[in-house]
Amino acid sequence: MNNKEYAKIILSELNQTLPTIDIEKSNQFVDLLLNAKEIFCAGAGRSGFAVRGFAMRMMHMGLNSYVVGETCTPNIDETGLLVVCSGSGSTKSLVNHAQKAKEVGAKVALITIDPESPIAKMADVVIEISAPSPKSAKAGEIKSIQPMGSLFEQSEALYMDTLILMLMERKHMDSDTMFGRHANME
């Protein structure tokens, strides 16, 4: 196969995951984002890369967003929201972050494959993405030509871009207003 044929299959797979995400839960997620004083984003591996992009776009919107583990990230309190991206929903470090957030009274939002995971049980909103992953309880149930958790990681990144569009609509923003916060020391 060539790159165009693979791209067609990947887009077809994404067209099977993204439309199945619950609309009401997405609206709840946006409400949590808008009501949080500060938003803390956490993920491991490729999910961590995806959630970093989400944190950056929220910063472009003027929201107080941070990436957990960075040296300039403040402490979370009861006014905060922890956004966790974890296919398995059981990565130990991310479970610990969710536990800490709940201990201080913060809200937790989870994007995952497994809505019955340890983090899901603590979360205020759980966004389920039906994608295969070797670390998921659903391993083998859903098929993809892509390796490991690629379909989930792509789906979560695109899903978070849909959240940004929803936030932009609710805040009456456009790309031009956001670009004013784009890094100028590149």
Going from N- to C-terminal start, the domains of the chain cover 13-68+77-178
Q: Who contacts 177 (Cβ-Cβ below 8 Å, separation ≥6)?
A: none
d(CA 138, CA 149): 12
* Residue 39 φ then ψ, to 5°: -120, 125
Q: Measured in whole angstroms, how far is the alpha carbon of residue 52 from the centre of its chain?
A: 9
Bridge partners (DSSP) of residue 85 are: 43, 111
- The CATH class for the domain spanning 13-68+77-178 reads alpha beta
Which residues of the chain fall short of a pLDDT of 50? 137
Tell me which residues are annotated as active site: 153
pLDDT digits (tens, 9 = 90+) for 121-140: 999 999 999 887 665 545 55
